[in-house]
């Protein structure tokens, strides 16, 4: 939020009064914001009620839990957030007589759930051995019904976990490839009619659309979206020097109760048509930005130094280098079958040119050359040579059908999004997009650094 306010101040849309430490609107066309959120739940749709009674014992448990480590991309949520999750599951009747699994749980929501609902059958799967050991110790001390296992989502899922759980709760890395990996595992280990909860960080629009497309393409049905549901605690070392300069510029201060950022809670229903997505990746693509920073320089770690984290960092670097040497992504290939389009538009070469070029630019693709040809009696073929590779289109007006092929190297552009835009602009009533990662299955020789 402060980044946005700073940008608005620089563009003279608002001004900052250093004495009152308040922002004021300069342009009178910008209306004053009025909030009509509920004063009790603040838009989260639940209140804790009797769950407040558990805060004292949970606070003691929270004090001794392992420090969050950026090596595993961990950031602590507030205790209220973990309890709010329990309240939400209770409201949705997603607890009683359910087998519940947490795919990662550095927030200890599993302990909140087990303490408040002792008859629950709960499993925690996490890559952090410190966390798994701590959950086991707490579970033994308080006689909780929790099974905690070390598991890395990049490894093959154990057969005894497949199709097992009624409810899954996860907080995945908000990038397309790691998010897809987490959701693929979620599909693997849940029953056909399961409920899946995920906290998702809404950052840039295109990144958020990537995550939405993953959910849609898996045929998962989104039943609920609650913005600003998950509150993350402030950690000074998470911020860049630019952000810290802004804090000083505007006199922003933080304490132990300050919120760093928030995420949206998604509730999804799995069904008989839900399925995993094909996915090939390098270890580098799976890692979050925070993890990469720690691997680059251990001084970027926020957790105290200890043997476990040192060994985990060393192993992660070795695994990454070995895996990345064996698997190289040369490019991303989207192939689209587009049906039931407007026949007249499919035979209009100027219209097709406009649609394809506008879609390519919107998908962050750079056009180098273009060539479009109108066939007799009908049909059009076109190609865009891109800095990233190519985009081709072939139309069959007599069948109201279009074939698209978009190949890109690097991660700058989004070939899938280009295909989707073309389908939408051609008024398609039905389309399919298949994606292939290119250059993954062979160790390619390197002839330059």
Residues serving a catalytic function are 389, 394, 409
The distance of Cα 110 from the centroid of its chain, to the nearest Å, equals 21
Contact between 202 and 264 under an 8 Å Cβ cutoff? The reply is yes
CB atoms within 10 A of CB 351: 16
Q: Mind spelling out the 3-state secondary structure of 206-238?
A: HHHHHHHHHHHHCCCEEEEEEEEEEEEECCHHH
Q: Got the DSSP string for 308-375?
A: HHHHHHHHHHHHHHHHHHH----EEEEEEEEES--HHHHT-HHHHHHHHHHHHHHTT--EEEEEEEE-
Contact between 177 and 210 under an 8 Å Cβ cutoff? The reply is no
- CA distances for 81 relative to 232, 263, 381, 433, angstroms: 8, 11, 54, 37
The CA distance from 323 to 321, in Å, is 6
What SS3 state is found at 433?
strand
- CA distances for 320 relative to 134, 282, 312, angstroms: 27, 8, 12
The CA distance from 196 to 149, in Å, is 20
Exposure class string for 68-87: b at 16+ Cβ within 10 A, else e: bbbbbbbbbbbbebbbbbbb
| Longest CA–CA separation in the chain, Å | 79
The CA distance from 236 to 79, in Å, is 19
Whether residue 146 has a cis bond before it, omega within 30° of 0: no
């Amino acid at each position: 939020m402060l980044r946005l306010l700073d940008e608005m101040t620089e563009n003279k849309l608002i001004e900052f009064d250093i004495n009152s430490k308040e922002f004021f609107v300069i342009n009178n066309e910008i209306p004053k914001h009025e909030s009509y959120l509920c004063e009790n739940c603040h838009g989260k749709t639940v209140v804790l009620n009797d769950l407040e009674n558990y805060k004292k014992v949970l606070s003691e448990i929270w004090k001794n839990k392992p420090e969050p480590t950026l090596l595993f991309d961990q950031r602590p949520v507030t205790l209220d957030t973990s309890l709010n999750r329990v309240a939400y599951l209770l409201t949705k009747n997603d607890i009683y007589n359910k087998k519940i699994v947490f795919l990662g749980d550095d927030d200890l929501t599993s302990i909140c759930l087990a303490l408040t609902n002792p008859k629950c059958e709960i499993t925690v799967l996490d890559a952090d051995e410190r966390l798994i050991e701590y959950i086991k110790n707490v579970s033994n001390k308080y006689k909780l019904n929790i099974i905690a296992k070390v598991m890395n989502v990049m490894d093959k899922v154990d057969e005894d976990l497949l199709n097992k759980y009624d409810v899954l709760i996860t907080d995945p890395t908000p990038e397309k490839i790691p998010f897809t990996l987490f959701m693929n595992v979620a599909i693997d280990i849940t029953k056909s009619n399961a409920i899946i909860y995920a906290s998702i960080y809404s950052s840039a629009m295109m990144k958020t659309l990537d995550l939405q497309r993953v959910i849609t393409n898996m045929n998962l049905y989104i039943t609920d979206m609650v913005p600003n549901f998950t509150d993350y605690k402030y950690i000074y070392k998470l911020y860049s020097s630019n952000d810290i300069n802004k804090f000083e510029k505007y006199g922003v201060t933080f304490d132990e109760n300050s919120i760093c950022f928030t995420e949206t809670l998604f509730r999804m229903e799995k069904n008989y048509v839900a399925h995993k997505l094909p996915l090939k990746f390098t270890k580098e693509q799976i890692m979050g930005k925070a993890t990469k920073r720690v691997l680059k320089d251990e001084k970027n770690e926020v957790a105290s130094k200890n043997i476990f984290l040192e060994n985990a960092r060393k192993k992660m670097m070795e695994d990454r280098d070995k895996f990345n040497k064996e698997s190289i992504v040369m490019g991303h290939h989207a192939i689209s079958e587009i049906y039931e389009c407007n026949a007249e538009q499919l035979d209009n070469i100027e219209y097709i040119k406009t649609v394809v070029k506008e879609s390519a630019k919107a998908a962050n693709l750079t056009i180098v050359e273009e060539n479009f040809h109108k066939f007799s009696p009908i049909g059009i073929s076109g190609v865009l040579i891109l800095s990233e590779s190519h985009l081709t289109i072939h139309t069959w007006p007599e069948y109201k059908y279009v074939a698209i092929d978009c190949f890109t190297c690097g991660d700058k552009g989004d070939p899938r999004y280009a295909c989707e835009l073309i389908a939408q602009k051609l008024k398609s009533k039905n389309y399919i997009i298949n994606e292939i990662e290119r250059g993954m299955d062979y160790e390619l020789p390197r002839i330059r650094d």
